[in-house]
Amino acid sequence: MRKTRSSKIKRSTGTLIFDWANTIFMLIICFLCIYPIWYVVVNSFNDAHDAMMGGIYWWPRMFSLENYRTVFADNRVLQAFKVTIAKTVIGTSVNVFFTAMVAYPMSKNYLVGRKFYMAMGTITMFFSGGLIPTFILFKKLNLLNNFMVYVIPAAFNFFNLLIFINFFNEIPPALEESARIDGATDWKIFRSIILPLSKPVLATIALFAGVGQWNDWFGGVMYMTTRMDLEPIQTYLYRMVAQVGSNQVAGSISAGNISAQSTTSTAIKLATMVITTLPICLVYPFLQKYFVKGVMVGAVKE
């Protein structure tokens, strides 16, 4: 419709002005969204001591790879990266497949107890026990200072389940029926017919769950009370940012009072921010057409 209009009907001056203003506005928004990342990237490639004095906006002033060398030489940081990668890979796959497995029967109207199960899930969307009762439960379940705290409590998500159900409902029932006549069990149908057909929705949920795991910093703060070696990189970064931040607020930094220690932590901070951010920036544009659908379904549904 847009194409026919732009080619057949001559645009008025007002429309032209609006189009230009809109384009410029959109370019400004795009700039505002990208620039913070760009800022961190150029600063991470700059000498850390020099970067702390500010004023690096577009390009490194003193180009250096030292920050990245510092990160990859720091065992504590490397360990935190390993934890993050492990929890993202394991936590995401468990969440995606467990939630899909529960969602498949729930997409069947004839499932006994379906209404009851849905009611249970809906309650969890609007009411929760909160921070402290959850913490006490995890303590009782021995999940504190345990890697499994990143996996088991994150294994299921009712919101994702709704997205799955909507997708499963659109798969033609004839595919399942023919398999059922051949004597396949529900589990077999789920595994060899439904899952292979559900790649778009699996990718969407994997992105949501994966970003959640990758960006989560609070789990480490909350549930790793003694095992610092099980802290993910975001928790490590959080502690460092909080420390550097309070220094920056307390007094302005001048060349004189920059200690060697704060130079190192700035170096690690800058390089780590880039390393934790880039994977996400590279992945999400390719999944865009899928997750847009997922967001719609989740929000429009009921």
Partner 1 sequence: MSRTRLVKTTQKSGFKYTLKKFARQKYLQMMVIPGIIWMLIFNFIPMGGIIIAFKKYKITRTIAEAPWVGLKYFQDFFQDSNFTSVMTNTLGISFLKLILGFPLPIIFALLINEIRNVKFKKFAQTISYLPHFLSWVVLGGILTTWLSKTGVINDFFVWLGIIKEPISFLGKPEYFWGLAFISDSWKELGWSAIIYLAAISGVDTQMYEAATVDGATKMQKIRYITLPSIAGTVAIMLILQVSSLLNSNFDQIMNLKNSINIARSQVIDTYVYQVGMTQGNYSYATAVGLFKSIVALILLVIANKTCKKLLGRSLYR
Coil, strand or helix at 63: strand
Cα 285 to chain centroid distance, Å, stands at 13
The footprint of partner 1 on residues 67-106 (CB under 8 A) is 98-99, 101-102, 104-106
Nearer to partner 1, 116 or 261 (CB): 116
The footprint of partner 1 on residues 186-225 (CB under 8 A) is 186-187, 190, 211, 214-218, 222
Least CB distance to partner 1 at residue 292 (A): 6
Residues pairing with 46 in the sheet: 63
Binding-site string for partner 1 from residue 258 to residue 287, where x marks contact by CB under 8 A and - marks none: -----------x---x--xx--xx--xx--
The footprint of partner 1 on residues 18-37 (CB under 8 A) is 18-19, 22-23, 25-26, 29-30, 32-34, 36-37
- Kindly indicate which of the ranges 67-75, 169-177, 198-206, 238-246 contains the residues binding partner 1, using the contact rule CB under 8 A: 238-246
Per residue, what are the HEC states of 112-164?
Answer: CCHHHHHHHHHHHHHCCCCHHHHHHHHHHCCCCCCHHHHCCCCCCCHHHHHHH
Closest residue by Cα to residue 182 from 172, 193, 168: 193
Least CB distance to partner 1 at residue 191 (A): 10
- Which phi and psi angles does 153 have, rounded to 5°? -65, -15
Tell me which of 66, 79, 90, 121 binds partner 1, using CB under 8 A.
121
The footprint of partner 1 on residues 44-63 (CB under 8 A) is 53-55, 57
Nearer to partner 1, 74 or 217 (CB): 217
Please give the Cα distance from 41 to 59 (Å, whole number): 9
Instruction: Please give the DSSP secondary-structure letter assigned to residue 11.
Output: P
User: Which tokens go with 232?
Assistant: 């993910």
Nearer to partner 1, 65 or 131 (CB): 131
Least CB distance to partner 1 at residue 167 (A): 16
Count of residues in contact with partner 1, rule CB under 8 A: 99
User: Which tokens go with 242?
Assistant: 């909080």
Nearer to partner 1, 79 or 276 (CB): 276
Q: Which residue has the tokens 């929760």?
A: 128
Least CB distance to partner 1 at residue 13 (A): 13
Nearer to partner 1, 33 or 73 (CB): 33
Tell me which of 112, 174, 181, 260 binds partner 1, using CB under 8 A.
112
190, 199 Cβ separation under 8 angstroms: no
Binding-site string for partner 1 from residue 135 to residue 174, where x marks contact by CB under 8 A and - marks none: xxx-x-------------x-xx-x--x-------------
Q: Which residue has the tokens 């906006």?
A: 57
Per residue, what are the HEC states of 169-231?
Answer: HCCCHHHHHHHHHCCCCHHHHHHHHHHHHCHHHHHHHHHHHHHHHHHCCHHHHHHCCCCHHHC
The reply on whether position 181 binds partner 1 by CB under 8 A is no
Least CB distance to partner 1 at residue 291 (A): 9
The footprint of partner 1 on residues 239-258 (CB under 8 A) is 241-242, 244-246, 248-250, 252-253
From first CA to last CA, the distance across the chain in angstroms is: 31
117, 156 Cβ separation under 8 angstroms: no
- Kindly indicate which of the ranges 73-81, 167-175, 179-187, 257-265 contains the residues binding partner 1, using the contact rule CB under 8 A: 179-187
